[in-house]
Amino acid sequence: MKRIALLLVLVTIFSSCKTVVVHDTTQTGGKTPREAVDRFLAGARAQDLQAIGAVFGNDQGPLRDHADRATIARQLLIQLQCTRHDKATISEPVRGEGGRQVFVVDMTQANNSASVKFTTVKGPSDRWYVLIFEIQVLQNKGFCNKA
């Protein structure tokens, strides 16, 4: 019963989130690793769940397309809350394992600041996705507290 209630809350939140066009929405991921990070951060700044869901993924594409929807919805909502920011500066990429690209993003949110690693991976159709980022760094720096 609790699971159904949680699912209904998530579906309500997921369906009521405002969608703001932050880049080309006809394709998921980014043309380049940098564009994937740019699109993710633009979606986070706009608090656009659909935008970050389009670029958060792995070598199979966006996770929203091939993972449990309720789990992904929860994960994206947490990511959206923790990546709220006023300013973000992205470093030049460093090559990671298996052709991945790693960017250090310096983020500020009011009086909070953090340097966070974002790792991107190439997926289908030569599109790039944000595979992982250091959410724990953002949690430790106070980014995940409710506004």
Domains of the chain: 2-140 (3.10.450.50)
Integer Cα distance of 108 and 113 in angstroms: 4
In this prediction the pTM is 0.81
What's the mean pLDDT in 49-78? 93
The percentage of the chain sitting over the pLDDT mark of 90, rounded to a whole number, equals 76
Q: Read off the pLDDT of residues 89-101 as tens digits, 9 standing for 90 and up.
A: 999 999 999 999 9
Residue 31 in 3-state DSSP?
Answer: coil
Q: Read off the pLDDT of residues 77-136 as tens digits, 9 standing for 90 and up.
A: 999 999 999 999 999 999 999 999 999 999 999 999 999 999 999 999 999 999 999 999
